[in-house]
Amino acid sequence: MNAGASQGKTDQLKDRSMADATDGADRVTIRLKPKANARAIRHGAPWVFDNELVTDRRTKKIEAGAIARLEDAARDPLGTVAVNTNSRIIARMLDRDPGAVIDRTWLAARLAAALAHRKTLFDAPFYRLIHAEADGLPGVIIDRFGDIAVIQPNAAWAEVLLDDLAAAMAQVTGVTTILKNASGRARGLEGLDDQNVVLLGRVPDAPVAVPMNGAIYMADLTGGQKTGLFFDQRPNHAFAAGLSREARVLDVFSHVGGFSLAALAAGATQAVAVDGSAPALALAEEGARQMGAEDRFTTAQGDAFEMLAALAEEDQQFDVVICDPPAFAPSRKALEPGLRAYERLARLAAPLVAPGGYLGLCSCSHAATIDKFRAASIRGIGRAGRNSQLIHTGFAGADHPMHPHLAESGYLKALFFRLLP
């Protein structure tokens, strides 16, 4: 994408009158179709899809990111929403109050509520601060790395109010650096640019060291995947680490060493990290060095499926094997091939587990429900000729709350099996 054109589009969004975007008295009204499920909205559903809304010529002229009053077909108010007629999710609920003023003060209140929860959970400021709809800021992801915050504004309304969001973030949390990460796939669906921007402070000149579960992870906040680190796996890292004392561990799709470094911190005798990304493995190696565990840590770059097959040919076995792949089923269209990929992964990983050892299988595919993912994993283990016990089912950490009406916000699943002798 042309950087100049992208920046120009962003500037046009921000230059719109904030009174038009936020003022509760003068804002535009949009209305549900008679057959739309207004009850679901009243009960907490956060999205209105384009086939549920009356979209006449006036509605179609609403600028992306505008704030509107939502009514049902009988003209009864439902709340204040953000509108993007270019998106399949045409309206996102911001506030149940139809006259709510969406400004810096409103943003600060949402951030403060989210921060209070994270302070309850964690002693150190390394966590996901905002998990989109579940934290009342639809489409917005904010990860915190000490005095640095990385924002993914994956909805048009957040792009329009990005300066206010950054200012409220600094005010509420005291962070001194705020980065905009525009790599999210959802931004393309919203018609937004892919340009990363420094909103406050300056770009970090080195990866940031993140303490978690006794390990040290190196997060590349500008060139790494997503915002630089996956905080969502924290409790699953901890569970796997508990299985890894005095163990030999294989961490497949390791990224920056998520499971392997936690295992080393817990006392694993050896950990091997496998990933397709050389930069990610370099960060994992640096994390091991900072932990003083480099003599127990090795890495291997390559295709995970090929590496698993090669290890089996060498008759290698490990006490703990963890596979944490990218989303094989990121959409409903990809569900069936994705489930076959999860089954294949389990089939290839199971022979590498020593008798009585443990196999952890993870999925971040929201389209693959826990039942479907579990069934695919069990089929794969069975096809490998192994008998198993399912000993634990894990999900994302409490800093990644699930919106009760939005299954997509509960995307992460982790299954831990003991493979019987």
Q: What is the pLDDT of residues 315-359, one digit of tens each?
A: 999 999 999 999 999 888 999 999 999 999 999 999 999 999 999
Nearest 5°: the CA angle 197, 202, 216 is: 100
Q: In the chain, how many domains are there?
A: 3
Tokens for 264, please give them.
């080393």
Element (H, E) at 2: none
Domain that holds residue 244: 208-419
Residues 213 and 311 in one domain: yes
Catalytic entry in 68, 364, 368, 415: 364
CA distances from 305 to 237, 276, 344 (A): 22, 11, 9
> Among 200, 228, 260, where does a domain finish?
200
**pLDDT bracket for residue 1 (50, 70, 90):** very low
What distance in Å separates the CA atoms of residue 293 and residue 48, rounded to the nearest whole number?
50
Collapsed DSSP state (helix, strand, coil) of residue 272? strand
Domain presence at residue 403 = yes
Residues 79 and 118 in one domain: no
Q: Is 323 one of the annotated active-site residues of the chain? A: no
Collapsed DSSP state (helix, strand, coil) of residue 392? strand
Give the bridge partners for 83, in sequence order: 66, 91
Average pLDDT value over all residues in the chain? 93
> pLDDT value at position 25?
57
- Phi then psi for 407, rounded to 5 degrees? -60, -30
> pLDDT value at position 330?
87
- Phi then psi for 172, rounded to 5 degrees? -80, -40
Tokens for 237, please give them.
């890292």
Percent of the chain predicted with pLDDT > 70 = 94
What distance in Å separates the CA atoms of residue 381 and residue 68, rounded to the nearest whole number?
51
Tokens for 177, please give them.
């650096």
H helices of 161-211, in order, are 162-173, 185-189
Residues 136 and 242 in one domain: no
Residue 164, domain CATH:
3.30.750.80
Do 149 and 172 touch, CB atoms closer than 8 A?
no
> pLDDT value at position 21?
40
Residue 89, domain CATH:
2.30.130.10
> pLDDT of 235-278, one tens digit each?
999 999 999 999 999 999 999 999 999 999 999 999 999 999 99
Tokens for 110, please give them.
């949402």
Give the bridge partners for 249, in sequence order: 271, 320
> Among 144, 176, 200, where does a domain finish?
200
Cα first-last separation, the chain: 55
CA 292 to chain centre: 30
Specify the DSSP class assigned to residue 369.
-
User: Looking at residues 186-208, what average pLDDT do you find?
Assistant: 92
> pLDDT value at position 185?
79
Specify the DSSP class assigned to residue 63.
P
Q: With 90 as the cut, is the pLDDT of residue 111 above it?
A: yes
> pLDDT of 163-173, one tens digit each?
999 999 999 99
What distance in Å separates the CA atoms of residue 266 and residue 278, rounded to the nearest whole number?
25
